[in-house]
Chain A
């Protein structure tokens, strides 16, 4: 028990008529990166808000570093949240943002200043340290946002879609930062819409759909559910007819196409690609529906 950083049992949340979370269970081991994958509206942000004390669940048990949510001040001392909208003060400079966060986390003025200096250097924000955050690029904002979360060390870090809207370079920089946190023993719980992100970072991926965790596993475990490659069949006008899973071998592809040959028009175009998040969802939600109906 003691080696779970985050533990949740049967977490439910309803907003009006909308059942956002319908009984979520989680077990996140200390020092791991856990990715919550799901489409828009799956309930990812609600779940992260519940885990980080922002929203009260209607039902269920949550324990962060052994503290139940009712002990909110203990939980808050163990966590740090980097929300979906970079939670930085735009009118202040990066240095002021970091110093302010340091003071709020109980550092003295001198400690807060020193810590800000340290983080500015480590997050490559020194050259812009005294510019107002309003002038920053998306990548710089996210780096600052993450830096603010690390002003005082917390064992659990929540990141809500940390790289949404970033360019490839900024995304990779952020991934490196997240990996280095893990090496220092921080438990990272992140949400993402990108399979690649979960794939690159996470020790465990949970797929949230329709308010439930529909699958949990490592990236490779999830992908093998789909096969290694996807065959995409489009008609002459380019609209998708169907997709097929394949292991990518000539033998498998030939066999599948032979079986199909009679049922599709001769001008059908074929493309082979890696499974996308869409495919994972289509497959997982289909399985989920089947499981429920049987």
Chain B
């Protein structure tokens, strides 16, 4: 028969609780584990950008740039496409947690339950960085020859991390306001389109006039121009400020939105 460890019950009885650092570590560990146990999604998130890059380099590349140098142009775009795609699964992970009852368990524990979202965000960052490294590795194999110094590499990495965090938090917020994992999944699609309407694959100047306005004013273009400039030495001008500004602004909105949505959502059921 079952016996539970003896304890004194009474109003003075209180349990210990985990520190914020431990809570975050536990939720990050959980999310990383969830990622590893969904190998199909993980492989898709890594394989898709690599396939896209190979396709753009070998299939379209010849038509876009007959000199065979297209791989130098397209790598930054592929990295961002990959980050946008990879972070969209955060919306699904978050919605799943918010709809299956486990959030109630976390919310009745004496911990900061919003850390469950932080866990998903950090896991997304880890997944996306892994995919980014693989993309860069494959790019080097197929002839990408960056000119960046160590500092430029680090700066590019910083911009990529900021971009991944921005989009992951945005998807976390989307996950918090959508009702079902399936619905959350479909939002990823919309944001997947943004890189195509930027300077990711072709220079903005080759687009029709009205589209140039859209493409040069949307947040992805400065991020791509910054990364491209850092890695391959093309002129950056003020694009770096625009890139950081856009990301910081969207990140701030996503954070506030997530926080409000978490509080509202969690208390509703």
Q: Which residues of B contact A84 (CB under 8 A)?
A: 101
Q: How far is the CB of B40 from chain A (nearest CB, A)?
A: 13
Which of A103, A104, A132 is the most central at the interface, judged by chain B CB atoms within 10 Å of its CB?
A104
Interface size on B, residues (CB 8 A): 41
User: Are B102 and A177 closer than 8 Å at their CB atoms?
Assistant: no
In the bound complex, do residue A155 and residue B16 qualify as a contact, i.e. CB atoms below 8 Å apart? no
Interface pick from B104-112, B189-197, B240-248: B104-112
B161 at the interface (CB under 8 A from A): no
- Is there a chain A Cβ closer than 8 Å to B6's Cβ? yes
Q: Are B5 and A123 in contact (CB under 8 A)?
A: no
Q: Is B10's CB within 8 Å of the partner chain A?
A: yes
Residues of B within 8 A of A185 (CB): 7-9
B206 within 8 A of A: no
Q: How far is the CA of A178 from the CA of B193 in the complex (A)?
A: 54
Does A229 have its Cβ within 8 Å of any Cβ on chain B? no
Main secondary structure of the interface of B (DSSP, over half): loop
Q: Which of B16, B33, B37 is within 8 Å of A106, CB to CB?
A: B16
Q: How far is the CA of A79 from the CA of B17 in the complex (A)?
A: 12
Contact B38 A30 (CB under 8 A): no
- If A104-B23, A186-B9 touch, whether A122 touches B15 (CB-CB below 8 Å) is no
In the assembled complex, the Cα of A55 lies from the Cα of B107 at a distance in Å of 10
Asked whether A107 is an interface residue with its Cβ less than 8 Å from the other chain, the reply is yes
Q: For the complex, what is the distance from the CA of A89 to the CA of B34, rounded to whole Å?
A: 9
Residue of A nearest to B108 (CB): A81
Check if B102 sits within 8 Å of A88, measured CB to CB.
Answer: yes
Answer yes or no: B67 CB below 8 A from chain A CBs.
Answer: no
Interface 0/1 of B235-257, CB less than 8 Å to A: 00000000000000000000000
A49 within 8 A of B: yes
Query: Do residues A103 and B107 form an inter-chain contact, with CB atoms below 8 A?
Result: no
Is the Cβ of B10 less than 8 Å from the Cβ of A155?
yes
In the assembled complex, 11 residue pairs joining A and B whose CB atoms fall closer than 8 Å, in A order, are A49-B269, A55-B267, A65-B13, A83-B105, A87-B104, A91-B34, A104-B22, A104-B23, A104-B111, A122-B2, A186-B4
Nearest 3 pairs of A and B residues by beta carbon:
A106-B16, A85-B101, A153-B7
